[in-house]
Amino acid sequence: MKKTCPSSNAPFPESRPAVWDFKRLFHPRTVAVIGVSLERDRHPANVIFNKINLRYSVDVFPVNPRGGDLFGQKVYTGIQAIPHTIDLAIIIVRAQYTLDTLMACIDAGAGGATIISGGFAEVGRLDLQQQLAELARQRGFPFIGPNCLGFYVPGCMDTFFIPSERMIRPEVGKVALVSQSGGVLVDLMTKFAEQGIGLSLGVSIGNKALIREMDLLRYLAEDPDTGIIAFYIEGFAHGEGREFVQAARRYAKPVIVLKAGKTREGIRAVSSHTASMAGDYEVFSAVLAQHGIVEAANELELTSFCEVLSCYQDSIDGRVGIISSSGGHGSLAVDICSRHGLSIPAIDPRQQAEIRADLIPSVQPIASLGNPIDLTGSATDGDFQAAAQHLARSPELDCIILLLLPYSPEITSDLGARLSQVCKHNNKPLVAYVPHVDRYRMLIEGFEFNGVPVSSSIKGAVLMVEALRRSRPC
């Protein structure tokens, strides 16, 4: 693999510890927010302090050299003045003060920090960023950032400077998101919430001066709360891309990568954002595929891939059976499958006759039982179950896509659970499309409670199948 380029022009640091201790960082009991304002209530540090103080069961302490009072809480003049050992320090001070602040945190025995502050390599201050990293490396002190949002652990901690009323929070789940961009992370979390995908951890690493993708990959590979690890990556240090791919392949958990900087213009944008350089994208993409690491082309793919790999771990060949109550939906799905290299094997006449015999009399003469199967808008729950039962037993297929239109009059809100059971008993992956609106929520939950992924679009459902096909070495 051709070497990719760094998020700074310095070589990838080999002197880092093999494994950082993130326990106190990601699951703190005591938190210091350093850099709160005594004049601006909506200052980012104040937003973070207020959010943690009101919504999380930790002890949180505001810090400003002037001391004083904030929202009725004593403001401490420094982290050393706090009468408790601090697990997590959230640093939001001007760039020129970060080195002294970080030293104070280390001397006070803090467990780790996230440096929200900007003004480092992304604006040409690589020297200051390297000083931070070298100090932390020498003292064995983990920090996230700088130039980042920090991290979000559902129900435990949120260091984002986004007001609570504007945060969209996914439910607790299996997927961990690691992103160089805080904005991309927040956007993906919103999409996760919309799709019902649960999150174990979301980390914005920004300039990744110290803690990088490899460090978090190692941690998350052993984290019992995480089943899927997804990355938004802008650039690597020299040699780091190869190490990342080889490590991701060794771990049992699926790894999904969304890479920025694929074009000349994208490389320029990446460089101005977090001082990253994108490297040779074509080579990196080919090596990901070779090692069975799923690459997402965009946010829609990443969201779909995360959802399906949260439910199914085994790869497939990509031979798909499609069941729908609408011929048009089935045709659209076939086109999308074909464009992604998925095959739609024909159902032989004998099997078609067996399926037809199990349908209700009024549907038997009007159903189209090739592949895709069109049961029509007159189909009942029993018709869908019969068709799914036959396809789930077919050795010619290794996955089923169900395109379900909940406004069909003869189906019930229990259909999702019933079809999920059929496929589960036959060990056949099922992926569903159901429009995501509140009135269909019970139907969608029937799938989700039984571990079946549900997409809000036909394309998303096909992308889920594509992820299962791609999640193995070529």
| CATH code where residue 266 lies | 3.40.50.261
pLDDT of residue 363: 96
8-state DSSP, 116: -
Helix (H) or strand (E) holding 101: helix 98-107
pLDDT of residue 265: 54
Question: In whole angstroms, what is the distance from residue 25 CA to residue 114 CA?
Answer: 8
Q: Compare 338 and 71 and report the one with higher pLDDT.
A: 338
- Residues 414-436, mean pLDDT to the nearest whole number: 94
Are 285 and 325 members of one domain?
Answer: no
Q: Is residue 9 part of a domain?
A: no
pLDDT of residue 398: 95
Q: Is residue 16 part of a domain?
A: no
Q: Which of 276, 310, 344 delimits the end of a domain?
A: 310
> What is the dihedral angle through the alpha carbons of 429, 434, 438, 439, rounded to the nearest 10 degrees?
-110
Within 10 A of 140 (CB to CB), how many other CB atoms are there?
Answer: 11
Are 213 and 342 members of one domain?
Answer: no
Give the least confident one: 48-52, 169-173, 239-243, 425-429: 239-243
Are 388 and 452 members of one domain?
Answer: yes
Q: Is residue 17 part of a domain?
A: no
Are 44 and 190 members of one domain?
Answer: yes
pLDDT of residue 57: 94
Spatial contact of 111 and 141, defined as CB atoms under 8 Å apart: no
Are 328 and 303 members of one domain?
Answer: no
Spatial contact of 135 and 91, defined as CB atoms under 8 Å apart: no
Are 434 and 320 members of one domain?
Answer: yes
3-state class percentages of the chain: helix first, strand second, coil last, to nearest 5: 40, 15, 40
8-state DSSP, 236: -
Q: Compare 340 and 265 and report the one with higher pLDDT.
A: 340
Are 302 and 448 members of one domain?
Answer: no
Spatial contact of 324 and 330, defined as CB atoms under 8 Å apart: yes
pLDDT of residue 269: 53
Spatial contact of 322 and 372, defined as CB atoms under 8 Å apart: yes
- Residues 382-405, mean pLDDT to the nearest whole number: 96
pLDDT band at 7 (very low <50, low <70, confident <90, very high): very low
Give the least confident one: 6-15, 237-246, 258-267, 351-360: 6-15
Q: Is residue 252 part of a domain?
A: yes
> What is the dihedral angle through the alpha carbons of 291, 344, 191, 256, rounded to the nearest 10 degrees?
0
pLDDT of residue 8: 39
Strands 150-153, 157-158: pairing kind = antiparallel
Are 371 and 436 members of one domain?
Answer: yes
- Residues 23-49, mean pLDDT to the nearest whole number: 96
Tokens 């490590």 found at: 247
pLDDT band at 3 (very low <50, low <70, confident <90, very high): very low
Tell me which residue of 450, 216, 197 sits closest to 299, measured CA to CA: 197
The total number of structural domains that make up the chain? 2
pLDDT of residue 275: 46
Q: How far is CA 124 from CA 215, 245, 270, 351, 410, in A?
A: 25, 29, 14, 67, 64
> Percent of the chain beyond pLDDT 90?
79
Q: Is residue 18 part of a domain?
A: no
- Asked if the model's pLDDT at residue 474 lies above 50, the reply is no
Are 236 and 92 members of one domain?
Answer: yes
> Percent of the chain beyond pLDDT 70?
92
Q: Is residue 55 part of a domain?
A: yes
pLDDT band at 287 (very low <50, low <70, confident <90, very high): confident
Q: Is residue 2 part of a domain?
A: no
- Residues 357-371, mean pLDDT to the nearest whole number: 96
Q: What is the pTM of this model?
A: 0.87
> What is the dihedral angle through the alpha carbons of 450, 452, 456, 457, rounded to the nearest 10 degrees?
-160
pLDDT of residue 12: 46
Length of the chain, please?
474
Tokens 């993906």 found at: 188
Question: In whole angstroms, what is the distance from residue 70 CA to residue 83 CA?
Answer: 17
Q: Which of 261, 277, 310 delimits the end of a domain?
A: 310
Q: Is residue 437 part of a domain?
A: yes
pLDDT band at 301 (very low <50, low <70, confident <90, very high): very high
* Domain coverage including residue 243: 23-310
Tell me which residue of 174, 199, 171, 191 sits closest to 457, measured CA to CA: 191
Are 192 and 93 members of one domain?
Answer: yes
pLDDT of residue 472: 63
Coil, helix or strand at residue 456: coil
- Asked if the model's pLDDT at residue 272 lies above 60, the reply is no
- Asked if the model's pLDDT at residue 4 lies above 50, the reply is no
b/e map of 347-370 (b: 16 or more CB within 10 Å)? beeebbeebeeebeeebeeebebe
Are 285 and 354 members of one domain?
Answer: no
Q: Where are the beta strands (DSSP E) in 99-169?
A: 112-115, 143-144, 150-153, 157-158
* Residue pLDDT, tens place only, 82-136: 999 999 999 999 999 999 999 999 999 999 999 999 999 999 999 999 999 999 9
pLDDT of residue 159: 98
Are 373 and 430 members of one domain?
Answer: yes
Q: Which of 289, 310, 331 delimits the end of a domain?
A: 310
* Residue pLDDT, tens place only, 309-323: 999 988 999 999 999
- Asked if the model's pLDDT at residue 281 lies above 90, the reply is no
